[in-house]
Amino acid sequence: MFEQGSGNLIKIAEALVELLNETDDDKKLSITKHIEDLEHKGDDITHQIFLELGKNFITPFDREDIHLLATVIDDIADYIHDSSTRIQLYKIHNITPAIKQMGDLILQGCQDLDKAIRELKNLKNLRVIAESCVRINSMENQADAVFKRAVADLFDYEPDAKIIIKYKEVLAALETATDKCEDAANVIESILVKHA
């Protein structure tokens, strides 16, 4: 189920990147709807994990870690969905290079998270898991830098306060998605430490 969740995250992140590179408004609306559908699918997977957690006495790793990892995967999907919704609601037509870069970083983080989760099943390739977690941490640091620079540029070069607020809101949701990727990596690292 975790693999289903992380696989779904990749699809959501790919749809986000597609949205950020699309110029046709009708297609943007369709992609945003697709992201929403994938987010709902992620919710279903999370609920299923929680149901199984309640039914099973023996779990592959700590119950708290299972709950935390499922929650953080769901959070990543929520913030990607939130970002796409804000782009539509705020009528943001000019997708800046910084926003595109944030989308690419989110996709990278989701791909690395999926790699790590697929190795959790047997915990044999600890190096692969650890390397994925390191890459996620690095991605989150890059995203922080992109976010800070983009917000600073808004304040320096954008005279319209409403536009500053709109773009800052979108950037903040994207940046939070990268934070949640790092949170997921931290949970996975905690699982590794307990199984070392």
pLDDT number for residue 59: 77
pTM of the model: 0.94
Mean residue pLDDT across the chain: 94
Q: What is the mean pLDDT of residues 9-29?
A: 96
Query: What is the number of structural domains in the chain?
Result: 1
pLDDT number for residue 48: 94
pLDDT number for residue 196: 67
The CATH number for 111's domain is 1.20.58.220
Q: Mean pLDDT lowest for which of 10-14, 33-37, 53-57?
A: 53-57
pLDDT number for residue 125: 82
Amino acid identity of residue 51, one-letter, is L
CA distance 100 to 42: 23
- The DSSP code sequence of the chain is -HHHHHHHHHHHHHHHHHHHH---HHHHHHHHHHHHHHHHHHHHHHHHHHHHHHH-SS-SS-HHHHHHHHHHHHHHHHHHHHHHHHHHHTT-----HHHHHHHHHHHHHHHHHHHHHHHHTT---HHHHHHHHHHHHHHHHHHHHHHHHHHHHHHHH---HHHHHHHHHHHHHHHHHHHHHHHHHHHHHHHHHHT-
Q: Using one digit for the tens of pLDDT, what is the confidence trace for 41-82?
A: 999 999 999 998 888 777 777 889 999 999 999 999 999 999
pLDDT above 90: residue 17 = yes
Q: Using one digit for the tens of pLDDT, what is the confidence trace for 108-137?
A: 999 999 999 999 887 778 889 999 999 999
Residue 114's domain comprises 2-194
